[in-house]
C-alpha cells in the first residue's frame, strides 16, 4: 500500500493545479479582467560599479565606467550625465544588458579628481521609475581631492530657486576666464536650486553660476544669465559620506532638502548687453513706427525722416531708453516707405562707441498698404476716430485714479471738459472735482485723479464728451462714460505695511502666492504706511527692491564691473515663512524695518 501511494505522489500536485483551474473557471467573475499585480514603484538600484567609485590612477585615455543595475534601465536624459571638470564634449553612454556604460570622446587630464553625476539621468525600463542619483568619484592621479563647497542659485527678481543652473569654480582669477574656458569644477543645481561642489582641491576660486543655453560650460553673455560671488572663495568642509550635503534626497522630502548647509547665495540675472546697435524696427501704421536698441541708454544725437519737417516728428523713449517710438504729426497720406535716419553712438568692430548715421527703411504694413477701403463696412473705428482706453479698476482707483491712454499722441486736448459726478447710496447726485497729470514715461497716457476721498457704496462716473481730443491723424474722439464703484464685499480684507527706517528709495510690490504677478505697487523714499485694501482671503508676498540709482526700475548687474543686480528682499514673518496669510474680513498690519532687511 505504501509503495502504491509513493507511486501516485508525483501526480498529486498536477491534479491539484488542474482541479484548481477548473474550480476557478467555474466560480470566477468573468466580467472582470485578471489583475497584473501591484505597480512597480521601486527605482533601480546599482549592484556593481567597474571600476569602483574612489578609484585612483584611472587611465586618461579611452576611460569607461560601467554601472550595473538590478533591472533593465534606460537613459532618460543624457545631458544629466554630467562630468566635472567638464570636457569639450559631453559624456557618451550606451546600454548593455542591465548596465550603463559611460565613456568620453576626449582624453582626461592627468593627476586630476573627477566626479560623474547621474542625477535625473536614468530610469527603469518598464515603469519609468527614476534612479535617485549617484555621484561617481575617481582620479587620474594617486589621490582624491576631498573638499566641498555648497550654496543655492536663485532668480534675482523672484528669489525663487533655479533648477538646472550650472555652478562653476575657476582657479583662474581673471575676469575673462568664465568667457574663455571651461571651469575647474562644475555641478548642476537640483529642484531647490541647491548645489554641492564635492571632491575639489583646497585652494581659492572664483565662483559663478550660469544658465547654460548651449551646454558648452562657458558664459555667453548675449544669450545667457549669470551670477557671481563678489569675493574669492575657499572650501572649508571636507567630504564625509554621512554629510547631508552630499546625499541624494527625494526632492519632495522638504525637511531633508532644507536641512542642508548653504554657504553661498548666487542671484542669477541677465546682463545689460555690452554692444550698442539698432536690432529691430517696424512701421506699425501710416504714421507710427518704432526702433529697438541692443543695449539700454542709447545715445542719440539726432533723428529725422526724409521729407518730413523736424517739427512734425514726435519721439519717445521707454524708461530703459532701449526702445524708441516715432510718430509723424501730419494727417496727410504718407509714402509707402519712410526713410528714417538715426545719428547715434554705435559699437564698432573694436568694441568702441563711435558716432554713426544709420538709414532705416520703414515700409508700410502690408495690410495697410494693400487693402483699400471700398465700402463703409470696411472702415473700422480706428480709421476715423481718436482711439483711447480708460482704466479704472475698483480695487485700484483710489491709488491710480482713472488712467487714459490714447493710441496716438494728441495735438488737441480738453481735459477740463470731463464731467465727474457721483451718486451716494440714496441715489443723490453730486459733482466732483479732479486733477489731471500726464505720465512722465508715456506721452499718450494721462491720469485723472478725484480730489475727494472715494467712499464705499458710492457710484462714480467720468464722462468724456464728443470731439474734445484730437490725435496726430486729425481724428476726434467719441464720447464715453466710465463707471466705477469701490468693492463692498464684506468678506474682503486689507493689509497695511508700516515701513520704518527708510533711508533710500525702494519699490514695494504686493505679489500673489506664486510670486509671478504684481497686484499693487508703491515707490517710497521715507517712512510711511502703505494700505492695500480690498484683498480676497489668501496668501500674499511682499517684495521690496532697493532702488540705489533712484530711477524707479529694477536694474540688473554687470559681471565685468563686479556689479550685482539691485538687491531684492521678501518680507519674512516671525515664523520664517515668506507668505502672509490673510483671512476674510481682516484688517492686518505688519511693521517692516527696511534697514534691518537690507543690512
What DSSP state is assigned to residue 91? Answer: P
Inter-residue contact 351 to 307 (CB < 8 Å):
no
pLDDT of residue 132: 87
388-391 and 434-438 strand pairing: unpaired
pLDDT of residue 265: 96
Beta bridge partners of 93: 102
Whether 13 has a pLDDT exceeding 50, the answer reads no
Mean pLDDT of 584-596: 95
C-alpha cell at 206: 572664483
C-alpha cell at 227: 551670477
pLDDT of residue 574: 87
Topology adopted by domain 493-598: Immunoglobulin-like (2.60.40)
pLDDT of residue 599: 85
pLDDT of residue 15: 39
587-593 and 493-500 strand pairing: parallel
Inter-residue contact 307 to 335 (CB < 8 Å):
yes
pLDDT of residue 367: 62
pLDDT of residue 347: 96
- Measured in whole angstroms, the distance separating CA 359 from the mean position of its chain's CA atoms is 36
Report the C-alpha dihedral over residues 12, 14, 19, 22, rounded to 10 degrees.
Answer: -170
Task: Write phi, then psi, for 102 (nearest 5 degrees).
Answer: -105, 130
- State in words which class domain 278-370 has: mainly beta
The pLDDT tens digits of the residues spanning 493-533 come to 999 999 999 999 999 999 999 988 999 999 999 999 999 99
End-to-end CA distance of the chain: 98
Q: Which of 162, 269, 192, 157 minimizes the C-alpha distance to 518?
A: 157
Peptide bond into 52 cis (omega under 30): no
pLDDT of residue 2: 42
pLDDT of residue 60: 96
pLDDT of residue 586: 95
Whether 4 has a pLDDT exceeding 90, the answer reads no
Yes or no: is domain 381-485 CATH 3.40.50.300?
A: no
pLDDT of residue 472: 95
How many C-alpha atoms does 322 have within 13 Å on its Cβ side? 13
Q: Angle at CA 269, nearest 5°, toward 271 and 276? A: 15
pLDDT of residue 95: 96
Q: In angstroms, rounded to a whole number, what is the distance separating the alpha carbons of residues 273 and 296?
A: 8
Confidence tier at 33 by pLDDT (50, 70, 90): very low
What is the Rg, in whole angstroms, of the alpha carbon atoms belonging to the chain?
Answer: 34
Q: Which of 326, 270, 317, 313 minimizes the C-alpha distance to 298?
A: 317
Q: In whole angstroms, how far apart are CA 496 and each of 2, 533, 534, 582?
A: 96, 8, 11, 12
pLDDT of residue 155: 95
The position carrying cell 545715445 is: 299
C-alpha cell at 556: 540688473
Q: In angstroms, rounded to a whole number, what is the distance separating the alpha carbons of residues 50 and 359?
A: 65
User: In the chain, how long is the greatest CA-to-CA distance?
Assistant: 126
The pLDDT tens digits of the residues spanning 66-87 come to 999 999 999 999 999 999 999 9
Confidence tier at 383 by pLDDT (50, 70, 90): confident
- Among left, alpha and beta (phi > 0; psi -120 to 50; other), residue 175 is alpha
Confidence tier at 549 by pLDDT (50, 70, 90): confident
Beta bridge partners of 108: none
The pLDDT tens digits of the residues spanning 169-216 come to 999 999 999 999 999 999 999 999 999 999 999 999 999 999 999 999
pLDDT of residue 595: 94
In the chain, ranges of CATH 2.60.40.10 domains = 493-598
The pLDDT tens digits of the residues spanning 389-420 come to 999 999 999 999 999 999 999 999 999 999 99
C-alpha cell at 220: 555667453
The pLDDT tens digits of the residues spanning 40-65 come to 788 999 999 999 999 999 999 999 99
Q: In angstroms, rounded to a whole number, what is the distance separating the alpha carbons of residues 223 and 210?
A: 11
Confidence tier at 29 by pLDDT (50, 70, 90): very low
Mean pLDDT of 375-391: 76
In the chain, ranges of CATH 2.60.40.1220 domains = 278-370, 381-485
445-450 and 402-406 strand pairing: antiparallel
pLDDT of residue 14: 36
Mean pLDDT of 459-465: 97
Whether 546 has a pLDDT exceeding 80, the answer reads yes
Q: In angstroms, rounded to a whole number, what is the distance separating the alpha carbons of residues 225 and 268?
A: 6
Helix (H, G, I), strand (E, B) or coil at 530: strand
What is the average pLDDT score of the chain?
A: 90
The pLDDT tens digits of the residues spanning 252-266 come to 999 999 999 999 999
Whether 28 has a pLDDT exceeding 50, the answer reads no
C-alpha cell at 53: 567609485
Amino acid at each position: 500500500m505504501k509503495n502504491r501511494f509513493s507511486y501516485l505522489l508525483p501526480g498529486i500536485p498536477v491534479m491539484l493545479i488542474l482541479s484548481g483551474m477548473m474550480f476557478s473557471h467555474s466560480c470566477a467573475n468573468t466580467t472582470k479582467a485578471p489583475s497584473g499585480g501591484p505597480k512597480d514603484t521601486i527605482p533601480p538600484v546599482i549592484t556593481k560599479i567597474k571600476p569602483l567609485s574612489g578609484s585612483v590612477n584611472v587611465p586618461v585615455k579611452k576611460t569607461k565606467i560601467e554601472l550595473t543595475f538590478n533591472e533593465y534601465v534606460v537613459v532618460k536624459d543624457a545631458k544629466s550625465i554630467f562630468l566635472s571638470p567638464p570636457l569639450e564634449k559631453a559624456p557618451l553612454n550606451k546600454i548593455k544588458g542591465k548596465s550603463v556604460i559611460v565613456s568620453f570622446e576626449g582624453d582626461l587630464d592627468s593627476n586630476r579628481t573627477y566626479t560623474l553625476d547621474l542625477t535625473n539621468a536614468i530610469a527603469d525600463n518598464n515603469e519609468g521609475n527614476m534612479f535617485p542619483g549617484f555621484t561617481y568619484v575617481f582620479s587620474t592621479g594617486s589621490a582624491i581631492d576631498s573638499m566641498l563647497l555648497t550654496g543655492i542659485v536663485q532668480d534675482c527678481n523672484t528669489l525663487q530657486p533655479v533648477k538646472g543652473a550650472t555652478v562653476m569654480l575657476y582657479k583662474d582669477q581673471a575676469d575673462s576666464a568664465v568667457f574663455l574656458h571651461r571651469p575647474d569644477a562644475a555641478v548642476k543645481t537640483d529642484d531647490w536650486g541647491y548645489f554641492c561642489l564635492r571632491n575639489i582641491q583646497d585652494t581659492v576660486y572664483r565662483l559663478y553660476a550660469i544658465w547654460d543655453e548651449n551646454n558648452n560650460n562657458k558664459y555667453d553673455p548675449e544669450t545667457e544669465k549669470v551670477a557671481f560671488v563678489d569675493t574669492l572663495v575657499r572650501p572649508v568642509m571636507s567630504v564625509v559620506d554621512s554629510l547631508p550635503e552630499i546625499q541624494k534626497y527625494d526632492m519632495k522630502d522638504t525637511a531633508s532638502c532644507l536641512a542642508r548647509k548653504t554657504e553661498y547665495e548666487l542671484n542669477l540675472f541677465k546682463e545689460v548687453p555690452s554692444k550698442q546697435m539698432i536690432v529691430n524696427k517696424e512701421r506699425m501704421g501710416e504714421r507710427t513706427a518704432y526702433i529697438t536698441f541692443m543695449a539700454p541708454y542709447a545715445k542719440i544725437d539726432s533723428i529725422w525722416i526724409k521729407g518730413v519737417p523736424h517739427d512734425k516728428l514726435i519721439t519717445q523713449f521707454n524708461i530703459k531708453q532701449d526702445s524708441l517710438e516715432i510718430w509723424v504729426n501730419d494727417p496727410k497720406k504718407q509714402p509707402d516707405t519712410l526713410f528714417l535716419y538715426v545719428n547715434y553712438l554705435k559699437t564698432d568692430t573694436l568694441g568702441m562707441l563711435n558716432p554713426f548715421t544709420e538709414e532705416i527703411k520703414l515700409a508700410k504694413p502690408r495690410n495697410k498698404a494693400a487693402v483699400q477701403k471700398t465700402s463703409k463696412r470696411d472702415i473700422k473705428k480706428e480709421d476715423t476716430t481718436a482711439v483711447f482706453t480708460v482704466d479704472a479698476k475698483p480695487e485700484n482707483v483710489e491709488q491710480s485714479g482713472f488712467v487714459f491712454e490714447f493710441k496716438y499722441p494728441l495735438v488737441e486736448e480738453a481735459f477740463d471738459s470731463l464731467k465727474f459726478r457721483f451718486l451716494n447710496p440714496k441715489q443723490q447726485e453730486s459733482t466732483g472735482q479732479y486733477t489731471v497729470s500726464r505720465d512722465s514715461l508715456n506721452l499718450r497716457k494721462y491720469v485723472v485723479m478725484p480730489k475727494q476721498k472715494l467712499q464705499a457704496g458710492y457710484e462714480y462716473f467720468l464722462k468724456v464728451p464728443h470731439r474734445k481730443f484730437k490725435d496726430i491723424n486729425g481724428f476726434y474722439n467719441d464720447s464715453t462714460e466710465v463707471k466705477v464703484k469701490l468693492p463692498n464685499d464684506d468678506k474682503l480684507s486689507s493689509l497695511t505695511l508700516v515701513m520704518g527706517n527708510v533711508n533710500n528709495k525702494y519699490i514695494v510690490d504686493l505679489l500673489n502666492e506664486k510670486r509671478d504677478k504684481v497686484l499693487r505697487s508703491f515707490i517710497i523714499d521715507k517712512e510711511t504706511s502703505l494700505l492695500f485694501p480690498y484683498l480676497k482671503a489668501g496668501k500674499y508676498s511682499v517684495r521690496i527692491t532697493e532702488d540705489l540709482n533712484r530711477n524707479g526700475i529694477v536694474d540688473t548687474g554687470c559681471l565685468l564691473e563686479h556689479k550685482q543686480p539691485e538687491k531684492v528682499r521678501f518680507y519674512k514673518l516671525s515664523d520664517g515663512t515668506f507668505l502672509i496669510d490673510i483671512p476674510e474680513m481682516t484688517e492686518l498690519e505688519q511693521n517692516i524695518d527696511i534697514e534691518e532687511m537690507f543690512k
